[in-house]
Every structure is written in C-alpha cells, then in structure tokens.
Structure 1
C-alpha cells in the first residue's frame, strides 16, 4: 500500500494539460462528429440502413465528446478554469449533461467511490447482501428492476439524459442552477432549429439513434468499471482512497479503436487515483508504472460477466448474482449451526 501511495506522488507530474494536445483532441472529435451527423442526414434519401451505420460511428464520437466534457468537469482539459467551463458547457449541451450539476455530483462520486456509508450520489445503486435480505418486498422489486439490463441500458439513458439532468437538485447553488437553465434552453433552441430546417422526422431519425447508442455506451462504461467480481467496497472506518481507486476501479482493456473513441477511460483505476490527469496521458502513465498494471483487467468478453453481478457480499468481499443468495444463506446457516454446536460442546465439557 505504501508503494501505491508513493505512486500517486510519482504520477503527479502528469496532472497538467497540454494545450496543443487538448486543441488537437477537440478538432479530431467535434469536427468528425458534425461531419458524420451531416452525412447521416444526407443518407436518409439513400437508405436508412446506411444512416444507422453512420449513426453508430457518430455515437462513438459523441462518447468521445462526453470524455472531453468529463475532463473539463475535473478541470484537467485546459489550464484555465474558465476555458474548462466554457468548453464543458458546450460539450454538455451536445451530450445533454449540465456542466455544473454533473461536475458536482461526479466530484462526490470520486470522493466516496466504494464507500458503503456514502453511497447515493453520482454512482450506481449497489445493495449489500445483508441490506437486500433485510429489505421489504417492494424495495427488492425496485432494486431488481433497477439492476435489470433492459432498465439500466435501454430505459436508463432516456430517463437520465432527457429527464433527470433537466432538473436541479434541492441544494444546488445559484451558479449550478443557471448553468442547468442555460443548458436546457440551448438544447431546446437547437432542437427547434434542426426541426424547422430539416424537419422533425428527419431530425429524430438521425439524432435518436446517436443519442440512444451514446447514452447506453456511456452508462455501460460507468457501470462495468466498478461492477466486477473482486471489486472493493468498505465501510467508512476501513475505507481507503487509494485502495478504492486501484482495487475499486478496473482497467478496461479495449481494442485500440474503441480505446481511442472512449478517450482512454478504460484506464479507470489511474483516473480515480489522479483525476486531474488529462485523458490523453492515461495510457502513458499505465505503461510506465508496473504497479498500476496490476489492477484488475477486464476485456470486452469478460466485462459481460458484470451483468450477473447484482449484490455486494461483505463477508466474501465480492459481487454476486441474485441466484447466489441461496448459497450465501446456506453458508451463513451452516456457520451459525457450527458456532452453536461449539458453544453447546463447551457448556457440556467446560
């Protein structure tokens, strides 16, 4: 652990942006997205299958725009706070995410990730086995629905990006409220302009698939990089920031094309260890530090297993599925019987 703590200091010199790299990333992300959106619209007169194919690629670039938005929220994309705020707000309009609101909730996520006593803000709802067993029938149904892949990855993007992000939370500050209003108004204005100039049907036929695919991919990336079998969760008294970063976040090893489109977010353990490192430095940091390469690695194939993981088993320190609860209960029952038998034996033979 001391080695990892020192490592946090060693990689601190990467915690600065490079203006040239940031501008280049803007150019190779925003311009292709705009071009692809235009081509998708133009292809409507040829074949909608062609349109969908272009939309899939455009959705990948929208995910990349979100990663830039994400870096701006951490203040790592540009040196100046105002520059991050302006670009972050623009990227937030394109991704339907209010900059200030998301910035605050995501900062809480980083500060409380894997802390069982501080769940609930900017994270995926996780129940422990004990909590689930003690929950009411209605709570269990609600949790099962929430963790259902269809609800999370199909209905989830629609609710989160179209509904949830449109409203300020109760304790939002004035700056955050204003930014949400600006984002909402800008989205409405853009939609009206596109619907008037292109027609609402053509607009939806292009924007709909791009929005849905990018939203689903975004939720999947966030979900899978914290929901793996031997992840890390602890109560406040035992929680450790460094362990939460290294053990509670995975290295999602993706094919190079997907790694590029997702802005290196697969190096999630490094990002959580030092969120001020811009996304374009993450791979270099990973390759130069053997200790960081020891983080849990998941691939496209192995990441699909995370769909099975629903509950955190505090006793065995791992994620399990709903079907595994019976085995856990049987083990607890046998342990209790063994303890009772030992106690009885002790009483009989003091």
Structure 2
C-alpha cells in the first residue's frame, strides 16, 4: 500500500543489505552466478568471459572462468551469519526460478481453504470483547497504567483490521454481501475506508516487492532522497524513529483521493468514504459529548495510534529485511517474491490471538484465500514441503533495529543503503537509534 514518495514523503517498504554491528558480508549470490576465491579475498562475482593474460615469456594464455557453485556448507554458514546479524531464526535459500505459484499452492491441503462460519464469527467475538475490555480498562485505570490499557486496546482494534482484511480477500464468509458489510463495519472505528484499501491491497499481493508497483512499503529512491534538504530530513525521520507510525501518512495520502482509483472503482470508494465520514460525524461528537475532548483522546485517539503502530511494524516485518530485494518488473518472479520475499514472525501469544495470526504471513501470500484461522495449518504444510526456502523470525529488538537503521535507500546491487552511509551529518536520528535501541535477539 504505498503511494509514490513524491506524493507522500513517507512510504512503506521492504528490503535489503548492510548488516549492523559492524558485520560485513558479501551480497547474497543466487544459483547461476560463479565464484572465484583468491587467497583470503572475498568471493568475486564474474561472468563467462575470456581473458588474455601475458606471461613473462610473452606467451599468451587463455584463461576461462569455470563455474564453481558455493558448497552447501558455505551457503548455510553464510545464511547463519546473516541470521545472527539481522535477528532472524532462518533465512531461506533462494527459490529455484522454475518453481511457480501453482507448484506451491498444490502442496497446501485443500481443507485450509475452507471457510468455517463458526471460526469466522468467533474471531469477531474475540475482537469485540477484547476491545470492550480495553475500553473498560481505560475508564478504570489510574494515569500510570493507561499506557498498558492503550496497548491492549490498540492491539484489540488491530483485530478489527484483520477481520476486514479477511473480508477483502473473500475468506471470511461464503456470502459476499456479508463480507462487504462486515469489512466496512470493522474498518469504520479505524477511520479506514474499506474499498479503497482493498483495491490498493490487491495490488500489493499481485506485485509483492516489485519496485514502484507494490502498494505496501517501498524503499526510498536515491533521486527522491537527493531532491531537497527538507524532503531528505523528513524522509530520514519518517523511515527512522517515526517509522512505527508512518502508516498514518500512507492511510491519509493513499485512500481518500478518488483520483487514485479506476473509474469502475470510484462508486465503491465513495460509499466507503461516506461510511468513514459518517462515523467521524456521529461517533466523534458522541464521544466528546460523553467524555469531553480528553475522553476522545483517551478512548479513541491513543488506541488508534496503537493500532497504527502494529499496522506499520507488521507491514515492515512481513517484507523488509536487508537480504530481501525489491526488483524491477522485468526481473521480478512471483513465486520468489511471495515465498522468499515474505517473513514469518512469531509474536507473543496475546498479540497473535488478538490479531488473529496475521503474522503467520507466508501462506497468506501463497494464497490470500486462506482464512486467518487456517494460516497456522497452512504454514506447517509449507514448512514440510518448502521449509528450507522460508524466512522466519521471532520478534526481537535486533530485528527491529536492523529495519529502522539499515533498510532505507534502494540499491540494485545491495538492496539497501542506510541513510547514515549517504549523509552521515544529516542522519543523527539513525545514529541515535543505533545507540539507544537494544541489540539483543
């Protein structure tokens, strides 16, 4: 879900390179690229070419580079080093180019695609009841416990988003009208227009990690970064310390302008916008009338900011890491992007329950038609059949530190260049994060 940076200043991205903690590793090499090692020098990528090398007797010798694939042990050790540096449990092997999406979908049990109305409405009950509990906690908590109440309530309404997310993918109910109604209602308290988001999100699935085309997070382009000092400073703060809330910029800039949608989409977009504005026009005054302006801040704004924290960080973790590339359309491979370009991340159990397993994300990109309550079974199947290709992590500070301090400006060769490598003097927010953020995995 990302508009162009020219529109938004802050976008949302995913991918690649430059480890933290002073580790230095060569860029990851895929199959079909050859290596030559000279004593202790790092592997050098070369192509098939012939070189004329003169000897001392002026004899001409033809030297031909012979394809030498890295040994499995070297590749495994290299990925292990990257895991340690980036905060991952496993970094997957590159997926062979001849593997297709159909190949992967065919290995997933058919039962995980089945819609279960009881489980679907159970997720609604969990979200509504946990949200009600959160509001009760906010009303009773002393001031020093309010942050905990806000954290719970913000996580609970993130579950509303996941329910609407299932509705948008037609994996909530067999009745499509019910899905549209539930999706719209679930998004209304978030002030999120359902249909505009759905249209943009469908493009994210169709073009995951495709440069310029993916509508989720995008890496910063060097031209944008260098365009003006004011924009550059805004980008540094937006992709640095403020990044866990940058989905707010994305929400505002990409979903309320009807000009950003195709003519056949505009009517549905307008209906969604009308629903959102109706909630603002009726719901907000009622909250203020009952609790005052401070009540509006306590009961709506702070949980909403908590929701956007999860919206931003989940999206970052799902597709952003130094080893995960964004690719131009002519170099993009759907199967590689969906399997190798998506990250499974385990969060604490209470977050997984309230957010309906949205972070079991790889099977969701293999097929968005898998309901959220079947994602774990689908992931287990993928582990059994494609396990060595999966990127997996357990949430940790090093993982977040890597994303916030490394994954910045797009580079075709190394995926990302960090802001402080390009403009050290202007990148104080990044160097500050490196100093203050914990570094344990």
What does residue range 86-235 of structure 1 map to in structure 2 within 5 Å?
A: 86-119=181-214, 122-127=215-220, 131=223, 135-138=226-229, 140-150=232-242, 152-154=243-245, 156-161=246-251, 165-171=255-261, 172-235=265-328
Q: Is the 8 A contact 2:254 2:260 kept in 1?
A: no
- Quickly say closer, same or farther: Cα 1:273–1:260, change in 2 above 3 A: same
Q: How far apart, in 2, do the equivalents of 1:266 and 1:213 lie?
A: 17
Q: How far apart, in 2, do the equivalents of 1:160 and 1:236 lie?
A: 23
Cα shift at 1:158: 4.7
- Quickly say closer, same or farther: Cα 1:32–1:25, change in 2 above 3 A: same
- Quickly say closer, same or farther: Cα 1:197–1:161, change in 2 above 3 A: farther
Cα shift at 1:226: 1.2
CA deviation string 1:64-90 (max 9, x = no partner): 111111111111111121111101000
The reply to whether residue 322 of structure 1 matches residue 419 of structure 2 is: yes
Cα shift at 1:164: 5.8
Name the residue aligned to 1:240.
333
TM-score (norm 2): 0.66
CA deviation string 1:250-282 (max 9, x = no partner): 111223222222321222222111111111111
- Quickly say closer, same or farther: Cα 1:170–1:34, change in 2 above 3 A: same
Name the residue aligned to 2:148.
53
Q: How far apart, in 1, do the equivalents of 2:325 and 2:200 lie?
A: 21
The reply to whether residue 83 of structure 1 matches residue 175 of structure 2 is: no
Q: How far apart, in 2, do the equivalents of 1:21 and 1:161 lie?
A: 29
Cα shift at 1:163: 7.0
The reply to whether residue 32 of structure 1 matches residue 125 of structure 2 is: no
Which of 350, 357, 365 aligns to 1:257? It is: 350
Q: How far apart, in 2, do the equivalents of 1:100 and 1:7 lie?
A: 29
Cα shift at 1:36: 2.1
- The higher relative CO (CA closer than 8 Å, separation ≥ 6) is in 2
Q: How far apart, in 2, do the equivalents of 1:107 and 1:183 lie?
A: 21
The reply to whether residue 303 of structure 1 matches residue 393 of structure 2 is: no
Partner SS state of residue 319, structure 2: coil
Cα shift at 1:321: 1.6
Name the residue aligned to 2:107.
10
TM-score (norm 1): 0.82
Q: How far apart, in 1, do the equivalents of 2:358 and 2:116 lie?
A: 18
- Quickly say closer, same or farther: Cα 1:292–1:207, change in 2 above 3 A: farther
- Quickly say closer, same or farther: Cα 1:243–1:51, change in 2 above 3 A: same
Cα shift at 1:97: 0.8
Q: How far apart, in 1, do the equivalents of 2:200 and 2:256 lie?
A: 14
Partner SS state of residue 321, structure 2: coil
Partner SS state of residue 289, structure 1: helix
Mind listing any 5+ residue stretches in structure 1 that lack a counterpart?
327-350
- Quickly say closer, same or farther: Cα 1:164–1:204, change in 2 above 3 A: farther
Cα shift at 1:186: 1.9
Q: How far apart, in 1, do the equivalents of 2:205 and 2:254 lie?
A: 20
Q: Is the 8 A contact 1:228 1:319 kept in 2?
A: no
Mind listing any 5+ residue stretches in structure 2 that lack a counterpart?
1-95, 424-441
Q: How far apart, in 2, do the equivalents of 1:136 and 1:207 lie?
A: 37
Q: How far apart, in 2, do the equivalents of 1:200 and 1:164 lie?
A: 28
Name the residue aligned to 1:348.
none
Q: How far apart, in 2, do the equivalents of 1:114 and 1:163 lie?
A: 20
| Two-structure CA RMSD over aligned residues (Å) | 2.6
Q: How far apart, in 2, do the equivalents of 1:98 and 1:322 lie?
A: 33
Cα shift at 1:157: 5.0
- Quickly say closer, same or farther: Cα 1:4–1:298, change in 2 above 3 A: farther
Q: Is the 8 A contact 1:12 1:274 kept in 2?
A: no
How many residues are paired up? 317
Name the residue aligned to 2:71.
none
Q: How far apart, in 2, do the equivalents of 1:300 and 1:284 lie?
A: 21
Q: How far apart, in 2, do the equivalents of 1:39 and 1:190 lie?
A: 20
Q: Is the 8 A contact 1:64 1:261 kept in 2?
A: yes
Q: Is the 8 A contact 1:229 1:320 kept in 2?
A: no
Partner SS state of residue 223, structure 1: helix
Which of 268, 288, 291 aligns to 2:361? It is: 268
